[in-house]
Amino acid sequence: MPGDLVLSRLAARDYSFLDAIDHKRYGEVLSLGTEGPWFMARHLSRAGKSAEARVFLELGAARSVEPFKTLCLQDLALAGSAAERLAALEVLDRHESSFNRAYPVATEPARLTALVELRRFGEIPGGLARLVREEPLTPALAEAITALS
């Protein structure tokens, strides 16, 4: 599909054309520029197509250049299952880029939330009791702790 047609469909928030595209061809979005995977993921996320969005974010994290590589990594760290988020947070913590230093994501609250959801309490500094007593409870962390009961 020509790039201008893809862009016009995205502008109209018409994502139906993606249903007919084999996931193996998603890499062709790079022909729109290395920012293509991140922008496509944003559109798909807004459309409620989180699995497809994640595929584009993974593509961008692997093949885009800065700042879009970091943007993809940051979005991966904040969406998906607890295990997926934790894995992305570990990659993001090791990722060195000037963009990541200038616009960091607060990874610790997301990491703690993922660890609680995975019931990996031994990896929480000071344990779950310290976390509940001393850490500010974000809505996501409060929900994860409440779900333990």
Residue with tokens 């893809």: 6
pLDDT over 90 (residue 98): no
pTM of the model: 0.79
Whether the CB-CB separation of 71 and 97 falls below 8 Å is answered with: no
- Cα separation, 46 vs 40, whole angstroms: 10
Query: What local confidence, expressed as pLDDT, does residue 68 receive?
Result: 95
Among 114, 116, 81, 108, CA closest to 92: 108
Residue with tokens 């299952």: 81
- Cα separation, 111 vs 106, whole angstroms: 9
Instruction: State the average pLDDT over residues 64-91.
Output: 93
Sequence-separated (6 or more) residues with CB below 8 Å from residue 18? 44, 49, 52
pLDDT over 80 (residue 19): no
Residue with tokens 């969005």: 53
pLDDT range class, residue 99, cuts 50, 70, 90:
confident
pLDDT range class, residue 1, cuts 50, 70, 90:
low
